[in-house]
Structure 1
Amino acid sequence: MPWSNQSGGGGWKGGGNGPWGQPPRGPQGGGGNEPPDLEELLRRGQDKIRRLLPGGGGGRPGSGEPTGFLTALPLIAVAAVGFWLYQSIYVVQPDEVGVELFFGKVKPELNEPGIHFAFWPIEQVETPAVRTENQEVMGGGASTGADSIMLSGDQNLVSVEFSVLWKIEDPIKYLFRVADQRELVRKVSESVMREVVGRTRADEFRTTGREAAQTAVRDRVQQTLNAYDAGVSITAVNVTRADPPLEVQDAFGEVQRAQQDQDKFKQDAQAYANKRLGEARGEASQIREAALGYRDQVIAEATGGAQRFTSVYQQYIKAPDITRERIYLETMEGVLSKTNKVLLDSGSTQGVLPYLPLPEVGRPTTPSSTGAAQ
C-alpha cells in the first residue's frame, strides 16, 4: 500500500514522522542538501508507466478506476502468444530434416526442408543435417604420434594417417541410439584399421594393397556401426599416409634403396638373358634354314642327275655305238679342258730332248722371274 494512504498519526504527510522515524523534509532548494520527496518520485514513475500503457493507463488504487496491471494484461497476452509462436514455428534448412518429439516420444514422420509448426512445449524438434558429409581425420599430423603407430602382419611398425567420410543415414537412430556419434565413428574406424593393418604386410599396405585395405576398412566399419544402430553411412575411407616411424626412416630408406638396386640388377640380367636367347634362337633358325636349303639342293641335284641318266640311257638303247662315242668325247672334253696342253709338230721334235718342263712354258712369267732370266 502506498505510504500516502496510510491511516492514523503514523502518516508522514500529516506532519508525523516518515517511515524511518524522521520528520518529512521539504523539496531541495535554497542551497540546502535535503533529498527529493520519495512520494513525488513514485508519482512521476506511475505517470510515465500510465502513459506507456494502452488507453492512458489506469487510475490510482482505491479511486475506482482500472489499475495499470489490468490494463497491461492484453500486452502481456500478446507477448506470451508471440513467444509461444516463436518457440512453436521452426525452419528446416535444405540439408536438414525435422524430427519431432511428442512428450519425448519420437514421431515416425520426418519433415522436409521448409517452415513447420510444433505445439511447444509438449512438442520438441531436432534438425540433424542428413545431407552434409562429415570427415574424421585420424592418425595425427606427427609421424611419431602414438595413435598413428600400428603393427603390421610381418611385425613391422607403420605410421598410418587416414580419414573417414560419413553422413547421417537414419536421423532417428542417429539422434537416440548413440550418445556421441563422432566419437563412435572414430573409435570404430581406428580399431578396424588396426585390425586390417595387422593382417597385411607393411610393404603391401604401403604400395599395392592400399586400395584393398581402404575397401576392407570401410565395409568392416559400416558393419560395426550397423550393429550399434548408429544410423550412420560410411561413404569413403582414404589412407593419406602410410610410412615407417620417424625413428627408423633412415634404416628403412637404406632397405628400400637396396631393394631398388636388387630389382635393377634383376631387370638388367633379364634383359641380357632375353638378348642372348634371341640371338641363339636367330642363329638356330638360320642354321635350320640353311640345312633345309642344302637338303633341297641335294635332292634337286640328285633328281636332275637321275633324270639325265634316264634320258641318256634311253638314247643309248636306240644307238649304242653312237652314244658310247659321244659319251667318250664329252668325257675327254671335260678332262682335257682342265689341263695345260702343248701341241708340237711331229717334224719339229727332231733334235729336241725327250724331257722338257713343258708345263712351265704355259705359265705366265712374273717380273721377278723375267729379271732373273735377263
Structure 2
Amino acid sequence: MAWNEPGGGNRDPWSGGGRDQGPPDLDEVIRKLSDKFGALLGSRRSGDGGGGGGGGSSGAGFAGVGLVVGLIALIGWLIASIYIVNEGERGVVLRFGRYLETTLPGPHLRLFPIDRVEIVNVEQRRFREIGYRSGGNGGRQAAIRSVPKEALMLTQDENIVDVRLAVQYQVKDPRAYLFHLIDPESVLVQVVESAARETIGKSTMDFVLTEGRSDIVADIKTLSQRILDSYGPDQPAEAPPTGQEAVQAGLDKQQGGAGLQIVTVVLQDAQPPEEVQDAFADAIKAREDEQRLKNEAEAYANEIIPKARGQAARRLQEASAYKEQVVAQAQGEASRFEQLLSAYQKAPEVTRERLYLETLESVLSQTSKVLVDVKSTNNLLYLPLDRLLNPSAGSNAASPATSSLPETLPATSSTTIDGSAAATRLRDLNRGREVR
C-alpha cells in the first residue's frame, strides 16, 4: 500500500486515529479559549452535571467571545493612541480641538479618539519668493517670471525700482504657527513686502542699486521679524511654574507672534523698470566714466605733486648752497683784501710790484700773444696755426697755459715760451732798468 493511499477503515498511513477527521468545531474552540481566559482571570468552571451543563457551557462561550473582542479592541486602541514624533519635529496635542500640550521627539500616548496630534517640522527651511516666481522645467532665466505688483517700489528720490527678494524661514513656535494666523506663509510674504517698501522708501535709488544692498537687506529682515512677532494674542500673566511643570511650560508657553523665524533675506535683483533700463544703463556708464576720470586725475596728481615737491626742495637746497658759496667767497675775498692791505701798509713798493707782476702773469697766461727775443739767433719758430685759428681752444681756462702759445725750436734744444716765462722776462727787464 502506498503512503498516500488510504488503508482499511478509511485510514491513511500517517494518521493515528481510527476515524475520519473533519473540520474543528467552532463551539469547542470558543470553549477552550474561554477556559484559558477564565483560568487567567481566576474563575473556575462548574463541575455539576445534569441538565444545567449545557446552559453553563453556552454562557461561558459568549463570555469568552466578548473577552476576546475586548482584548482586540484594547490592543487596537493602544496602537491608535501611540504616536511618534521624529527628530526635528514637534507634536501639538489637541483635546476636543483645544490646545493641550507640545511634545518633544520620541514615542508618546494620547487619548484616542478625543486627542488629535498635529506634527510640525521646526527645522525645515522654507522658501518664499517676493517680486518674482520661479518654476517649470526650463532653464533658470526662462522659468523666472516677474510679479510687478510685488516688485515695483518707490524710492525716496521718487524713482521706481524693481526689487526681487528671496526669504528663508522656519517655524519657531508650533502652537503660534497653527493657531495665531490662518495662513502664516501668506502673512509672511505680505509682511516682508511691506517692510521692503518702507525700507526702500527711505533710501535713494543710487543707494539701493550700489552700496546699500547689505544695509537694506538687514533692515528688511529686522523690521519683518518685529512685525511678525507682534501678531497673535498675548498670554495673561500667571505664577511661574517649577520643576517638571517649568519644562512643559517652556514648550507650552504661548508666545505672541506668527510663530515664524526669518533666517535670511536675499536681495536677488534690484534694477530700474524694463522701460527705462537702456537710459539708466547710459547714466550708469556716464557715472562710471566720471569716476574713472576722477581716479585717473587723482593718480596723476599723486604722481606729479611729489615730483614737483622734490624739485622745489632740490632748488631750495641748491639756492641755499649757492648762497653759502657766495657768502664764503665774499668773506674770503674780504679777508684776502684785508690781509693785502695790511701787507701794503707795511711795504708799499714791494707789494705794488708784486701785485703788478701777478696781474701781468695772470693776464698773459690766458692770452694768445707771443713774445720773442729778437736778439737771440738760430731760433726756429713753430707756430701752431690750428690752435691760433681756433680761439675757443686758447680761451679754455681749464686747459694749460701752454696750449695756446707757440713753441720755439732752437738749434740744439727745444724751448717753450709761455706767459709765465714772458712775465719773468719782463720782470728781469724792469729790474735791469731800475739798476741803471
Q: TM-score, normalised by structure 2?
A: 0.59
- Structure 1 counterpart of 2:5: none
Q: 1:242 Cα shift?
A: 1.3
Q: 1:118 Cα shift?
A: 2.3
Q: Give CA-to-partner distance per residue, 1:198-228, whole Å, 9 cap, x none.
A: 2222232122101000000011011111111
- Structure 2 counterpart of 1:299: 327
Alignment of 1:1-374 (within 5 A): 50=26, 54-55=30-31, 64=55, 65-66=58-59, 72-102=65-95, 104-107=97-100, 110-140=102-132, 141-143=144-146, 145-228=148-231, 229-277=257-305, 280-312=308-340, 322-345=350-373, 364=388
Cα distance in structure 2, aligned partners of 1:321 and 1:79: 159
Are the counterparts in 2 of residues 214 and 238 from structure 1 also a CA contact under 8 Å? Answer: yes
- Relative to structure 1, the CA distance from residue 246 to residue 340 in structure 2 (aligned partners, 3 Å threshold; closer, same or farther) is closer
- Relative to structure 1, the CA distance from residue 115 to residue 308 in structure 2 (aligned partners, 3 Å threshold; closer, same or farther) is farther
- Relative to structure 1, the CA distance from residue 294 to residue 241 in structure 2 (aligned partners, 3 Å threshold; closer, same or farther) is same
| Paired residue secondary structure (2:164) | strand
| Paired residue secondary structure (2:189) | helix
Are the counterparts in 2 of residues 158 and 242 from structure 1 also a CA contact under 8 Å? Answer: yes
Q: 1:90 Cα shift?
A: 1.3
Cα distance in structure 2, aligned partners of 1:125 and 1:187: 29
- Structure 2 counterpart of 1:23: none
Cα distance in structure 1, aligned partners of 2:305 and 2:119: 73
- AA of the residue aligned to 2:122: V
| Paired residue secondary structure (2:161) | strand
| Paired residue secondary structure (2:149) | coil
- AA of the residue aligned to 1:227: S
Q: Give CA-to-partner distance per residue, 1:313-337, whole Å, 9 cap, x none.
A: 5655666654444333323322332
Q: Give CA-to-partner distance per residue, 1:147-183, whole Å, 9 cap, x none.
A: 2222222222222211112222233323322222211
- AA of the residue aligned to 1:76: V
Q: Between 321-330 and 251-260, report the one with greater CA deviation.
A: 321-330
- AA of the residue aligned to 2:209: R
- AA of the residue aligned to 2:217: Q
- AA of the residue aligned to 1:175: L
Count residues in correspondence: 304
Cα distance in structure 2, aligned partners of 1:186 and 1:252: 29
Q: Between 272-281 and 121-130, report the one with greater CA deviation.
A: 272-281
Cα distance in structure 2, aligned partners of 1:239 and 1:284: 54
- Relative to structure 1, the CA distance from residue 68 to residue 279 in structure 2 (aligned partners, 3 Å threshold; closer, same or farther) is same
| Paired residue secondary structure (1:289) | helix
Q: 1:346 Cα shift?
A: 7.0
Cα distance in structure 1, aligned partners of 2:389 and 2:267: 96
Q: Between 47-56 and 277-286, report the one with greater CA deviation.
A: 47-56
- Structure 1 counterpart of 2:136: none
Cα distance in structure 1, aligned partners of 2:276 and 2:174: 46
Q: Give CA-to-partner distance per residue, 1:300-325, whole Å, 9 cap, x none.
A: 32233344445545655666654444
Are the counterparts in 1 of residues 368 and 388 from structure 2 also a CA contact under 8 Å? Answer: no
- Structure 1 counterpart of 2:235: none
| Paired residue secondary structure (1:161) | strand
Cα distance in structure 1, aligned partners of 2:192 and 2:386: 108
Cα distance in structure 2, aligned partners of 1:149 and 1:275: 46
| Paired residue secondary structure (1:240) | strand
Q: 1:191 Cα shift?
A: 0.9
Cα distance in structure 2, aligned partners of 1:283 and 1:91: 86
- Structure 1 counterpart of 2:41: none
Are the counterparts in 1 of residues 172 and 260 from structure 2 also a CA contact under 8 Å? Answer: yes
- AA of the residue aligned to 2:160: L
Percent identity reads: 36
Cα distance in structure 2, aligned partners of 1:174 and 1:227: 13
Q: Give CA-to-partner distance per residue, 1:333-371, whole Å, 9 cap, x none.
A: 2233233444355769xxxxxxxxxxxx997258xxxxx
The root-mean-square deviation of aligned C-alpha atoms, in Å, is 3.7
Cα distance in structure 1, aligned partners of 2:355 and 2:335: 16
Q: TM-score, normalised by structure 1?
A: 0.68
Are the counterparts in 2 of residues 139 and 147 from structure 1 also a CA contact under 8 Å? Answer: yes
Q: Give CA-to-partner distance per residue, 1:44-69, whole Å, 9 cap, x none.
A: xxx999589845899xxxx9535987
- AA of the residue aligned to 1:343: L
Cα distance in structure 1, aligned partners of 2:117 and 2:198: 40
Cα distance in structure 2, aligned partners of 1:247 and 1:363: 89
- AA of the residue aligned to 1:127: I
Cα distance in structure 2, aligned partners of 1:205 and 1:321: 100
| Paired residue secondary structure (1:132) | coil
Q: 1:192 Cα shift?
A: 0.8
Structure 2: 5+ residue runs without aligned partners? 1-22, 35-53, 133-143, 232-256, 377-384, 391-436
- Relative to structure 1, the CA distance from residue 97 to residue 320 in structure 2 (aligned partners, 3 Å threshold; closer, same or farther) is farther
- Relative to structure 1, the CA distance from residue 316 to residue 168 in structure 2 (aligned partners, 3 Å threshold; closer, same or farther) is farther
